[in-house]
Chains A and B, each alone.
Chain A
């Protein structure tokens, strides 16, 4: 599974993207974030406040409850500030 980070989520985690292999019981984005946060304080800093984390799965905006499967592209980022 490919995970991409943008904005201050990227900056705090210190990575723009990574290939990960989460446990089989990680079935949605919320569970994925909970698992990522066990990987170290940088992930806690980037993903600790779920109110400030937005989600896209396969480049479609969605919610923390979106189901994910092997092969998905998951992006985690702060609220968008375009325009």
Chain B
């Protein structure tokens, strides 16, 4: 499931709804991204996230479908916020459930890596010395590129299971 929203989310409630009454779930992996208070030597006063309504939902839905193709998952949840956030605020939640931990952990990492380079969000930091756009990092591209393999070659993926 995909949600793009301005309001905050409740991690406990989200996790509970993904697991309660679902005894087939053996593992849940979860990532939460938060606004930091410092960028280098500069204090961050707030961060504003802009996105491309319509395309954002499409891209996130594609990422979910891609993860489900690669791993045997019970459920996928991506909640991404936009608008003005303060240090300590939650930005994004990625949670995956599976029968086993490896599929849950790997798919969670895959989703957050790809989200950073393929979901149309842009961050602007308002700092003590003025506002500036956050630059994309080459290291994020490198992290995402690690997953550029055939789905059937990923351990625990559907392709592997059907062999």
- List residues of A whose CB falls within 8 A of some B CB: 4, 6-8, 10-11, 56, 59-61, 75, 77-83
Contact = CB atoms under 8 A, between A and B. Distances in A.
B58 A7 contact: no
27 contacts: A6-B52, A6-B120, A7-B124, A7-B133, A8-B122, A8-B133, A11-B133, A59-B54, A59-B58, A60-B58, A61-B59, A75-B52, A75-B120, A77-B120, A77-B122, A78-B122, A79-B117, A79-B136, A81-B116, A81-B133, A81-B135, A81-B136, A82-B115, A82-B123, A83-B92, A83-B116, A83-B121
| Majority secondary structure, A binding face | mixed
Interface of B: 33, 49-52, 54-55, 58-59, 80, 91-92, 112, 115-124, 133-136, 140
Contact of B55 (A8, A56, A78, A79): A56
Contacts, number: 73
Of A59, A75, A83, most B-chain CB atoms within 10 Å: A83
Would you list the 9 A-B pairs with minimal beta carbon distance, nearest first?
A82-B121, A79-B136, A7-B122, A59-B55, A83-B116, A82-B119, A8-B133, A81-B134, A81-B123
B148 to A, nearest CB: 15
A1 B13 CA distance: 43
Of A4, A81, A82, most B-chain CB atoms within 10 Å: A82
